Chain A
C-alpha cells in the first residue's frame, strides 16, 4: 500500500442509527491509535484507528479475544495508559470534551465523577487495609462537597442499593470479609457513587461463579439504566453482549472489525472475523468446537493489511492491499473489503 493511504485521515462514516440526530454521544472515540515506545523507537502499536461511539443511555458491548485491545481502549479513555504507552493520534471525547491532551488535573476530576470503571477480580480492586465504606466515601468526597459524615451515609445507601445486606454494618468491614459477589457489588457502588455519565465495566463477572455472573450483570445493567447512564461493557463473551447490550463493537488485533446493533452484528455478521468469533462460541448443535486457525498477529508496527487476513477463510489478494477502512454498510460499520 502507498504511504499516503496509510497516513490519510480516515473517512468518518456517519452513524446511521445514532440516537437522535445531532445529539452528542457520551463517549466518542475517533481514530484512536496508541503506541508503546517513543516516536523514534516505536515498539508496538496495540491500538490502531479505534472508532467507538456510545450514545446517552446506551449499552455498548466491546467484544474480542484476549489481547485484542479492549482493556487498553478503556485505559486510553480514562487517560490511564500504562507506562511507555502514548496516544499517537485520534481523539476521545466525553460529552463533547476532548480528553486526549487534557491536563491530568482535569482528567482526575472527570474520573469517577463523569466516567467510572469497574474491573474484573473485584476483591483485588478494593484496598485490603481500608474499610469498604471508607473507600466509597472517599470517592464521594473527592468529587463533591460532602462532609465525612454525609459521604459515609451516602456510601451506606449505595451499598444497600447494590444489595449488600446490613449495609451500615458491612460498610465498616474490609474486603477480605466480603465474598467475590459482594465485593463486585461494592465496586459497582463505588463506580456509580458520583452518578457518572459513562460506566466502563471491564469483564466485571470474570472470576465469579456462573450463578453470580448473571446476577451481577443484571444488577450492573439495572443500576446504570436507573441513572440514565451509558454502559461500555467489555467482555470476551459474545453471549453476554447479546443478552445485555443494544449495540456491539467487535475488536481484533487492536482494530475495530465491526460495529452496530447487537442483533444485526451477531445475527448477520458481515465481517468474517465476527462470523468466526460467533462460530467459536458455538451452539450446542455444533458437533465439534470451532477454533479460528492461526494466531493473533503481533503488532510491532502499523499494519499495512487486514489484521485478520492470515486467518480469514475468505481472504483474497485485495485484503492485503491496505488496512480495510471502517465503512458504513446498511445499519452498521464494517472493516472488510469483502463485506
Chain B
C-alpha cells in the first residue's frame, strides 16, 4: 500500500524528468528575460541540482504535504486547491458508485433468475449500449434532455451565482456541513441496521425503514431551519444530473457480470437443495444464489471503481463540476505542472483506496479468506 503510493510518486517524478522541458519552463520561456534571471528561476525551483537530489527533495516535500504552488491559481498552494476540489469529486464518485453497484447487482440478480424473457433481452441490450456508449456524447445528451429541454436541472457547474449573491457563507462551508450531515446519516442508518440484526429475527427488517426515514427527516428539518437550506438545495440540484449520468454509464458492467456469475451459481447443487427444501423463491435467490455469486463481482469492483474514476473525470469536464478531474484537465491545458502532479497523485490515491476497500469487503464476504 505505502509501497505502491511510493511507486506512484516515483513514477510521476520520472515522468516529469522524461518529458521535454521542466517546471521552470513555464516562466523561463518568456523571451524578455535575460539569461541570469532564467538561471535564477531555475535555481529557485531547485533544477540546478543533480537528478537524484531533486528526487529526494521531491519525496520529502510530497510526504510532508508540500505539493508546491499552483501556477494557474498563483499564490494558492496545490494542496489548498485540491483540499477544496477533492471532496466534491469524492461525493460525486461515491454516490454514483454506491447507487450503480446496488442497481447493477439488483437488476443482474433479477434477470439471471428469470432467464430468457423479454426483460432480460432488453436489459442486456440497453446495458451493453450504455456500457459502450461514448461517455461525453451521452453526458451531453443527458444535459440536452434534462437540463435544456425539460429544464429540470441546471446545465452544469457547482452552484448558481444568482442564488448565492446575497449569501454571507462560503460554498465550502455549506458543502462541508452537507458532507458532515450525510456522513452522520449513513452512520445512523448503519447503526439501526446493526441493532436490528442484534435483536434477532423477532423484529422484521422492514421496521428499519421508518426509523431511517425519520432520521433523514430530522436532518432535513435541521437544514431547513438553519437558514442556509436553500443554498444546500442549490448544490444538490447541481449534483443530481452528474451523479445520474455516472450511475447510468457504470451500472451496466456490474449488471452483466452479476448475470453471468448468477447463471453459474444457479447450476450449483446447493441452490437445487435449497429449492427442494421448499424455501421461498426469493430467499433462495437472495440468500443462497446471490450471496455466493457476489464474490467475483466484488473482485471486479476494483475495475468498476477505476472505470468510475475515469468516468468522473470525463463527466466533471462535461458538467463543469469543479472536482479533481476538472482541475486535472484545466491544469493540463494551462501547463500548470505542479497542479497536474498533485491531482494525479490524488486520483492515484483514490484508486488505491478503492483497492483497500475491496480487499476488506472480500474478507467480510468470504470467511475463508484471512489476511495475516
- A complexed with B: no
On B, residues with C-beta under 8 Å from A are: none
